[in-house]
Structure 1
Amino acid sequence: MYPGTRTPPVALTIAGSDSGGGAGIQADLKAFAANGAYGTSAITAVTAQNTKGVLAIDLMSPLSLYAQIDAVTSDFFVRGSKTGMLGSIELLEIVADFARRGTLPKLIVDPVMIATSGDILSPQSIVSGYREFLLPYAYVVTPNIPEAELLSEIEITNQSEMVRAAQLIHRFGPKYVYIKGGHLEGDESIDIFFDGQNVSNLRTNRIATPNTHGTGCTFSAALAAQIACGQPIDQAIRNAKIYTTKAIMGGSSWALGSGAGPLDHFLWSHPDQF
Structure 2
Amino acid sequence: MKCGFAALIGRPNVGKSTLMNHLLKQKISITSRKPQTTRHRIVGINTTEAGQVVYLDTPGMHQSDKRALNRYLNRAADTALLGVDVVVWLIDGLSFHEYDEVIFKKLELAGLPVILAVNKVDRIKDKEQILAFFAEAQHRFPFKHLVPISALKNTHLDALEKAIFELLPEGGLIYPEDQITDRPERFLCAEIIREKLTRRLGDELPYTLTVEIELFQEQPGITKIYAVIWVERSAQKTIVIGKDGEMLKKVGTDARLDIEKLLDRKVYLQLWVKVKKGWSDNERALQGLGFND
Does the pair score TM above 0.5?
no
Q: TM-score, normalised by structure 1?
A: 0.37
Q: TM-score, normalised by structure 2?
A: 0.35
